[in-house]
Amino acid sequence: MCYTSTDALFDDHSYPATTRELIDRYGEQTLELAGGSQTVGEVLGVAGEETFESAEEARYAVYAGMGSEAIGRVGYTDRDPEPPGTNGHVPVSF
């Protein structure tokens, strides 16, 4: 995920901050994902009641709380093939 305007929201907040404070302030902000969208409130709600010491901690909680909608093509990789002798995934032709 690249740095976005949603990331910048957390930069301007004062810390420490609780999950509830961030949800109250930014919860309605929509995150556009590869397979749909979620709100900041939805993804932060997964974290439970936490206290974040920095914007970076809050961003990581958002990243961790995103569902499968944040994944592009499941199982897709443009990296090198699996090393010999390992069981990689079966290639799919599009």
Residue 8 main-chain phi, psi, to 5 deg: -65, -30
Residue 3 has pLDDT above 60, yes or no: no
Does 53 map to a domain?
yes
Does 49 map to a domain?
yes
pLDDT digits (tens, 9 = 90+) for 71-80: 666 666 666 6
Highest-scoring range by mean pLDDT, 2-6, 15-19, 79-83, 88-92: 15-19
CA 94 to CA 73: how far, in whole Å?
12
Does 85 map to a domain?
no
Count of domains observed in the chain: 1
pLDDT digits (tens, 9 = 90+) for 18-72: 999 999 999 998 888 777 788 889 989 887 899 999 999 998 888 888 766 666 6
Report the relative pairing of strands 51-52 and 36-39 from DSSP bridges.
unpaired
Q: 16: domain range?
A: 5-69
Does 11 map to a domain?
yes
Does 62 map to a domain?
yes
